[in-house]
Each structure stands twice: as C-alpha cells, then as structure tokens.
C-alpha cells in the first residue's frame, strides 16, 4: 500500500499565492499539489509515498452518508483480482473535507486548503484504493462541488500546482486531451516505484477526479489510462 499522506502540501501554498491571479482571470484560485502554484514554498511533495506493503485483507468499507452515497455509486469497482489497501484511509470511503485535507496536505497548509475547497463549494468526497495483482496501485478520488464552476476552479488549482512543480513532468492522456492531465515524478523512487497522478474534469461537470497511481519500475500508461477512462465514464 502506498502512503499518500502529506503529498499536497505545495498545492495549498500555491492556492494561497495564486488565488488573486487566477481569480482576476476566471474567478478561481490555485490549489493543491494537484492545483495551481507558487513562490518560495516547500517542495510540492514533502512526504514521499513509501513502498507498497504486502497485500492486506480488504478492509470493511464505510457506508457514507446519504449526501455521498450517490458519489460512492459512481466510483469504479475493484478490478478482478485487485484488493484494497486494507488501511484506515481505504476504509474511509467518504472522508470529510477535513479528513481529506489532513490526509493529503502538510500541516502548514491545511487551513488554507480547507478554506479554498469550502469557497469552491465542495459538497462531498468519495474514493477507492486498490492494489492490482501486478502490484500497480491507485487511489481514485471523486470531489463533488455544488457548481460546475467550483469544480473547474479546483481542477485549475491542482493542475496548475502540478505543472509548476519542478519534480514532476507531464504526460498525455490521449483519450481525454481536453479534460484530463497527467503528471509523473521525474525520478523513480528509492522503492522502485514511479509516482504519478492524473486529474480530470469534463466541462459542465460538478465532479473532479483526482487519481494517485503507483507503478513498479516504469509508468504503465495503458494501465492508468484504462482505469481512468472507466472512472471518467462512471463519474459523468
């Protein structure tokens, strides 16, 4: 299982620094490491994911609230032979905004990140993790906003911050050239895994997809694209 906690610290800083600029143009601000960027702030990923642990038994999934049950239904199911990460984060399928921020943002940026998401109209979060038989792993997250414009702001935040991160390079998601962007670590981790992320937001949609993907040795783009394509279709 990969540890994704703390990976969006840079994003929060970016959101605060870029908010004025982006709002002047479109009304949106910058976001989480999956967001827009920057200045003299700490590196985007101040907490590097650790190597996957041996597979654990699938955890019992939380049922969520009535407000998020519809979002959970739009999550991609576990692929055949895959297992969830078996940890507390995986079990919490519908984290609150505070739990989401605590998991993904470093302490210094949590207050700003939560305020930013609140201002964008975040109404619900649902996610699903899994480790496939080949050890490729993903955390697929759906963020639901009360307006499409709020979702667009979040998408601009996270993709902007990722583009500004010098440790990341971009890659093309050919099947969704206009509504999805991919980023990967320039260096393979000490554990031998390539850390990647992808973001998607269809024009007019209130849902933003944020995917954190980990593959052994090289970026396995076909694998990631297959999973992301299915999630984009289900998210609507």
pLDDT tens digits, one per residue of 38-77: 222 222 232 334 434 433 333 334 444 445 678 999 999 9
Instruction: Give the pTM.
Output: 0.76
- Contact predicate 35/86, CB 8 Å: no
For tokens 């759906």, name the residue. 142
**CB atoms closer than 10 angstroms to residue 218:** 10
CA 21, CA 34: separation in Å to the nearest integer? Answer: 17
Give the whole-number percent of the chain exceeding pLDDT 70: 71
| DSSP reduced 3-state for 53 | coil
Q: Which pLDDT belongs to residue 21?
A: 28
Rounded distance, CA 180 to CA 81, Å?
27
d(CA 99, CA 63): 16
């Amino acid at each position: 299982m990969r540890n994704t906690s703390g990976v969006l610290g840079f994003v929060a800083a970016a959101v605060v620094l870029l908010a004025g600029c982006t709002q002047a143009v479109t009304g949106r601000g910058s976001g989480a490491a999956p967001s827009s960027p920057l200045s003299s702030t700490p590196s985007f990923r101040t907490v590097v994911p650790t190597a996957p642990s041996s597979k654990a038994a699938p955890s019992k999934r939380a049922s969520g609230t009535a407000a998020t049950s519809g979002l959970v239904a739009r999550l991609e199911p576990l692929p055949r032979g895959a297992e969830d990460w078996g940890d507390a984060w995986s079990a919490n399928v519908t984290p609150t905004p505070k739990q989401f921020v605590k998991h993904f943002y470093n302490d210094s940026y949590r207050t700003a990140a939560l305020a930013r998401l609140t201002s964008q109209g975040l109404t619900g979060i649902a996610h699903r993790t899994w480790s496939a038989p080949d050890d490729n792993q993903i955390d697929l997250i759906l963020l639901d906003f009360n307006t499409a414009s709020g979702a667009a702001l979040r998408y601009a935040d996270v993709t902007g911050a990722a583009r500004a991160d010098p440790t990341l390079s971009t890659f093309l998601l050919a099947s969704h050239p206009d509504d999805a962007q991919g980023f990967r670590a320039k260096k393979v981790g000490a554990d031998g895994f390539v850390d990647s992320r992808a973001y998607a937001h269809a024009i007019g949609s209130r849902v933003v997809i944020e995917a954190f993907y980990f593959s052994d040795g090289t970026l396995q783009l076909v694998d990631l694209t297959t999973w992301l394509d299915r999630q984009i279709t289900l998210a609507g």
